[in-house]
């Protein structure tokens, strides 16, 4: 597999609207070639018997049962509020709307 060329890096830089100096083009061409080589090596290791995964370990959600439990009454929740209206916190208007 041929390596990525300096001209290809310049083309990618133009597409991304990046202005790169000559020495940066050479530097990035080397780096991108190394990255492409590393990805190719990983692709060689992957076997047909190994399914693709997003995480190395299985993930499970930890859920608790949804149970009704005692909680604050509206009066208790609003007891420390500086202002309240219709069992709600009253805050200053910020958008200029009614």
Q: 45 vs 11, 36, 42, 50, 54, CA distance in Å?
A: 31, 15, 5, 10, 17
Task: Classify residue 35: in a domain, yes or no.
Answer: yes
Task: Classify residue 13: in a domain, yes or no.
Answer: yes
Structural domain count of the chain: 1
Radius of gyration of the chain from its Cα atoms, rounded to whole angstroms: 30
Task: Classify residue 74: in a domain, yes or no.
Answer: no
Task: Classify residue 70: in a domain, yes or no.
Answer: no
pLDDT, position 13: 94
**What ranges in 46-81 are assigned the alpha helix state H?**
74-78
pTM assigned to the model: 0.45
DSSP character at residue 55:
S
Residue 58 near residue 33, CB atoms below 8 Å: no
d(CA 96, CA 65) in angstroms, rounded, equals 42
Task: Classify residue 61: in a domain, yes or no.
Answer: no
Task: Classify residue 1: in a domain, yes or no.
Answer: no
Output the tens digit of pLDDT for each of the chain's 98 residues: 568 889 999 999 999 999 999 999 999 999 999 998 888 887 777 677 777 778 888 888 889 999 999 999 999 999 999 999 999 999 988 887 66
């Amino acid at each position: 597999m041929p390596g990525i060329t300096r001209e290809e890096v310049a083309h990618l830089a133009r597409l991304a609207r990046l202005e790169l100096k000559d020495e940066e083009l050479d530097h990035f061409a080397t780096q991108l070639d190394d990255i492409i080589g590393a990805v190719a090596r990983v692709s060689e290791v992957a076997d047909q018997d190994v399914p693709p995964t997003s995480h190395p370990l299985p993930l499970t959600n930890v859920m608790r049962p949804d149970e009704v439990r005692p909680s604050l009454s509206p009066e208790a929740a609003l007891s420390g509020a500086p202002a309240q209206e219709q069992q709600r916190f009253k805050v200053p208007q910020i958008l200029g709307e009614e």
